[in-house]
Amino acid sequence: MKKTGLTSFFDALHLVLSNVRAVEPVGRSLLSAAGFVLREDIRADRHLPPFHRSAMDGYAVRLSELAAGKTLFRQVGTLEAGSAWKGKVGKGDCLKIMTGAPVPGMLDVVIQVEQSRLSGGMVELAGPGVCKFLNIHRMGADAKKGALLLKKGAVLSPRNIAVASSVGAVRLAVSRPIRVAVVSTGRELVPAAATPSPSGIRDSNSPFLMARLKTIPWINASFAGIVKDDPRKLETILAAALEKNDMVILSGGVSMGDADHTPAVLERLRVKNIFHKSAIRPGKPIWFGTSGKKAVFGLPGNPVSVGATFHEFALPALKKMAGISDPHVRVLYLPLGATAKKSHPLREFRVARLVDGGAAVSPVETYQGSGDFVSASQSDGLIVIPEDRCEMPAREIVEFHPWDMP
């Protein structure tokens, strides 16, 4: 535990991730599990496909006969998807077959309808260039019975729901929703609906955090209110929020100002401080602590600091609590569309936007610093300017953390 000085970004992230645990799993029905985090492995209950599946509408025949130069076949029946052929298919015979129907064992190619012709009551099929299992999706080709299809820790995307459905997994073990409370602190703050005094500010951090949390299906977020830098009120609200939630996210009041009461109040509530202040910009005064299994983030109040520190620290913590196998933020490596500069030795997370149709990323030119949420609203994510760099020239490959890829 480090309480004084600046904790490096990577040490801070490590401290966050090593101090939170996955919540317990619960059972949910297939569709209501969509978007949640899977907490069990899902395996194939039979081969996929479960039989040699015709991949085309056409005619099933023996390759050996085609290879021997035979072109005219007698049609002995028609097989639809969902039916099985019980009869025989003798020498010189073919079976009309529809996409999805099981190809009988004695036949090994399907010639598509487009390559056939009816001629004098017989079916004429084109033979050259045909190889074994043409247009047959072979039994077990996609997955063998017992194969691991979905891994514990996966987020159940619509595609994953389709896979679970196909093996009959109608009830899934998923992480229960993570309960998160959001608190804004600051004497100057009023709710968005109120008219601020000339020195007042409308709260934008809580609406940001609530909206961001709302986009995550496995989170239950609640707004605990605005606290006007009154330590006693803050203590009451935080005590209640801690009681009912897995994580509390505060904004404001963690710097060195006279009204920055958050750390002292949290310590009074026996929330153990894990680190305070990291060598990053924006967001340097960030405070992180735990109380049993619960986590508390005190994010610096400037709106861009909130956006950056939520993304870089709180989101990975939430992902770990939800049991996601890799809780780190998503990183894309893209060329810079313009030079990125800084003049401090901290790790900078600079608001940036995709350019050239997403082939490059550029810092938002108008950005005025961590209070400038207007410029930040033009961004698609953050680029990283490492501690030891003052300037990254255009075209250099930069780390880009998109806001909207979970």
Q: How far is the CB of 262 from ligand AMP (least distance, A)?
A: 8
- The verdict on 204 binding ligand AMP (CB under 6 A) reads yes
Q: How far is the CB of 299 from ligand AMP (least distance, A)?
A: 8
Prior bond to 282 cis, omega within 30?
yes
Residue linked to tokens 């609590």: 321
Q: How far is the CB of 309 from ligand AMP (least distance, A)?
A: 11
* Interaction mask 267-306, Mg ion, x per CB under 5 A: ----------------------------------x-----
Q: Which residues pair with 72 in a beta bridge?
A: 124
What is the DSSP track for 285-315? T-EEEEETTEEEEEE-SSHHHHHHHIIIIIH
Residue linked to tokens 């709302």: 214
- The verdict on 362 binding ligand AMP (CB under 6 A) reads no
Prior bond to 49 cis, omega within 30?
yes
Total number of residues binding Mg ion (CB under 5 A)? Answer: 4
- The verdict on 188 binding ligand AMP (CB under 6 A) reads yes
Q: Which residues pair with 340 in a beta bridge?
A: 392
DSSP assignment, residue 32?
G
From the list ligand AMP, Mg ion, none, partner contacted by residue 35 (C-beta under 5 to 8 A by kind): none
From the list ligand AMP, Mg ion, none, partner contacted by residue 75 (C-beta under 5 to 8 A by kind): none
Helices (H), 59-141: 63-67
From the list ligand AMP, Mg ion, none, partner contacted by residue 406 (C-beta under 5 to 8 A by kind): none
Which residue in 230, 229, 248 sits closest to 238, CA to CA? 248
- The verdict on 205 binding ligand AMP (CB under 6 A) reads yes
Among 225, 289, 303, 307, binds ligand AMP (CB under 6 A): 303
Angle at the Cα of 263 from the Cα atoms of 245 and 191, rounded to 5 degrees: 65
Which residue in 13, 15, 9 sits closest to 272, CA to CA? 15
Total number of residues binding ligand AMP (CB under 6 A)? Answer: 19
- The verdict on 255 binding ligand AMP (CB under 6 A) reads yes
From the list Mg ion, ligand AMP, none, partner contacted by residue 108 (C-beta under 5 to 8 A by kind): none
What is the DSSP track for 333-399? EEEBSS-EE--SSSEEEEEEEEEGGGTEEEE-TT--STT-HHHHTT-SEEEEE-TT-SEE-TTSEEE
Q: Which residue is at the shortest CB distance from ligand AMP?
A: 301
User: Cα–Cα distance between 299 and 296 in angstroms, integer?
Assistant: 9
Q: How far is the CB of 225 from ligand AMP (least distance, A)?
A: 11
Contact 289, 309 (CB under 8 A): no
Interaction with ligand AMP in 367-386: which residues (CB under 6 A)?
A: 371
Q: How far is the CB of 200 from ligand AMP (least distance, A)?
A: 9
User: Cα–Cα distance between 128 and 135 in angstroms, integer?
Assistant: 15
- The verdict on 282 binding ligand AMP (CB under 6 A) reads no
Residue range at the interface with Mg ion (CB under 5 A); choices 13-21, 185-193, 323-331, 367-375: 185-193
- The verdict on 189 binding ligand AMP (CB under 6 A) reads yes
Closest to ligand AMP by CB, 186 vs 327, is 186
Binding site for ligand AMP (CB under 6 A): 184, 186, 188-189, 201, 203-206, 251-253, 255, 257, 300-303, 371
Binding site for Mg ion (CB under 5 A): 186, 252-253, 301
